[in-house]
Amino acid sequence: MQHDNVIFDLIEKERQRQRSGLELIASENYTSKQVMQAMGSVLTNKYAEGLPHKRYYGGCEVVDEIEDLAIARAKELYGAAWANVQPHSGAQANAAVMLGVLNAGDTILGFDLSHGGHLTHGSAVNFSGKLYKPAFYGVEEGTGTIDWDKLRDKAREVKPKLIICGASAYSRDWDYEHLRATADEVGALLLADISHPSGLIARGLLNDPLEYCHIITTTTHKTLRGPRGGLIMMGENFDNPWGRKTPKGIIKKMSAILDGAVFPGTQGGPLEHVIGAKAVAFGEALSEEFLHYVIQVQKNARVMADAFVHRGYKLISGGTDNHMMLIDLRNKGITGKGAEQALVKADITTNKNMVPFDDKSPFVTSGIRVGTAAITTRGLKEDDMEKIVGLIDRIIQAPEDEDNLAAVKQEVNAWMSQYPLYESATRETV
């Protein structure tokens, strides 16, 4: 078969883009080579509908071993009682949970998308807002943080069957204990979608949702630094939300419901090549090296947040506990879209983002979201954060000055060439 140089030349172009720029998108990271090797392996050829040792296809002995290992490592990493590693993404994981525990038309209470929530937490344009009846909590205008008592009042008012905590753009930690008390009071299940801070939670740097939440979903490719994919877990403490008494075997019963909601409920064949890569990533995340990595991610974010504040930028909530920050650019006379576009010309990648109480549309926005997961993998440390903020500030001050954009780009490219990444070319010689 002829080698597809059209596609491989484009992959090579993307490799060069990733190597030469400053990657600040809070949901992105650089996986290890072995994670990518597992994804690009013969495992992609195998159909394995069902669960390990209970498949609908023959020849699954090897993928059973791989999926067993992925599950065991996920459980060890998070201290979970049960895990399903098959969701293709975080959105799929959330869809499966909702299918498993809700009926169409049930009320769900999630974090408002325009305040930092996620599409799958009840947005009107998503299945979660179409199939279920969404209600939302948000942040306070003054503090930029969630008021847990107000959230409880909202739950008392709307009586949800499911409360969803977790966000795409919230830089503070979550009070899972308070949320669980609220869920218990109103008879709701509590789902934590920890996709963003997943790696920091895994290594104990933030509050542990498994202690209090009934169900946990996460992606595996953000701070966890694995392949693109999803994961569902339950902790040891799952009890019956519809009554205080914990019936025997509830984990088993709920896990059967959730397993069935993934397959055949919402998915067909699992992606065993991605599950293999998840197993590799979970193994990496259990290492001492990963612990140092996530500690550095958090340190870098704090230093970066301080540097932005020092230069007069308005951070929602004033700072960060995790790996990201949301910046309101309205006092800088530039929109989120304008900033994203100008920064990318200098090979600094961020994403425009709505800020709470935004007066602009999601296509324009008043803010940008910035995260430290990828640049920390690259090897950057606290001292480098001030330099990054300085470069961003130079662009925000003069976003249309082409000479300035070119000068910053040159500086970024020269700087990043000192931090090796994916050294070998992807194009096969023909």
For ligand DSN, the closer of residues 117 and 283 by Cβ is 117
Active site residue 228: yes
C-alpha span between 323 and 295 (Å, rounded): 10
- Write down the least CB distance from residue 199 to ligand DSN, Å: 14
Which is the catalytic residue, given 31, 218, 219, 220?
219
CA–CA dist 57, 60 (Å, integer): 7
Close Cβ partners of 313 (under 8 Å, ≥ 6 residues apart): 327, 329, 331, 332
Instruction: Identify which of residues 24 and 83 has a Cβ nearer to ligand DSN in the complex.
Output: 24
Q: Which two tokens stand for residue 105?
A: 């038309």
Residue 27 binding ligand DSN, by CB under 6 A: yes
Out of 15, 75, 133, 228, which one is annotated catalytic?
A: 228
* 365 contacts ligand DSN (rule: CB under 6 A): no
Which CB atom, from 193 or from 272, has the smaller least distance to ligand DSN? 193
* Active-site entry in 23, 112, 193, 384: 193
| Contact of 244 with 207, CB cutoff 8 Å | no
In the block, residue with structure tokens 């009890």: 239
Nearer to ligand DSN, 27 or 92 (CB): 27
Give me the catalytic one of 47, 75, 106, 208: 47
How many residues bind to ligand DSN according to rule CB under 6 A? Answer: 4
Q: Cβ of residue 113: shortest distance to ligand DSN, in angstroms?
A: 11
User: Which residue in this structure is represented by tokens 């960060």?
Assistant: 320
* 246 annotated active-site: no
Distance (Å, rounded) from C-alpha 396 to C-alpha 311? 11
- Cβ closer to ligand DSN: 27 or 114? 27
In the complex with ligand DSN, the residue whose CB is nearer, 296 or 350, is 350
- Can you give 233-270 as a three-state secondary structure string? EECCCCCCCCCCCCCCCHHHHHHHHHHHHHHHHHCCCC
330 is catalytic: no
Alpha-carbon distance 391 to 393, whole Å?
Answer: 5
**Whether residue 365 lies in the annotated active site:** no
Catalytic, 222? Answer yes
Mark whether 12 is an active-site residue.
no
Quote the least distance from Cβ 90 to ligand DSN, whole Å: 6
Question: Which residue lies nearer to ligand DSN by CB, 60 or 108?
Answer: 108
Which amino acid is residue 161, in one-letter code?
Answer: K
Nearest to 416 by CA among 382, 385, 375, 386: 375
Q: Tokens in use for 150?
A: 């107000």
* Contacting ligand DSN within 90-119 (CB under 6 A): 90, 118
* CA-to-CA separations, 367 to 317, 340, 408, in angstroms, rounded: 13, 9, 21
Residue where the block lists tokens 């830089």: 171
Can residue 168 be called a binding residue for ligand DSN (CB under 6 A)?
yes
What would the two tokens of residue 241 be?
């939300």
Smallest Cα–Cα separation from 373: which of 340, 420, 325?
A: 325
218 near ligand DSN, rule: CB under 6 A: no
CB atoms within 10 A of CB 206: 22
Residue tagged active-site, from 12, 28, 49, 382 = 49
* Position with the least CB separation from ligand DSN: 27
Dihedral sign, Cα of residue 350, residue 355, residue 361, residue 367: negative
Residues catalogued as catalytic: 47, 49, 193, 219, 222, 228
- Contacts with ligand DSN by CB under 6 A lie at 27, 90, 118, 168
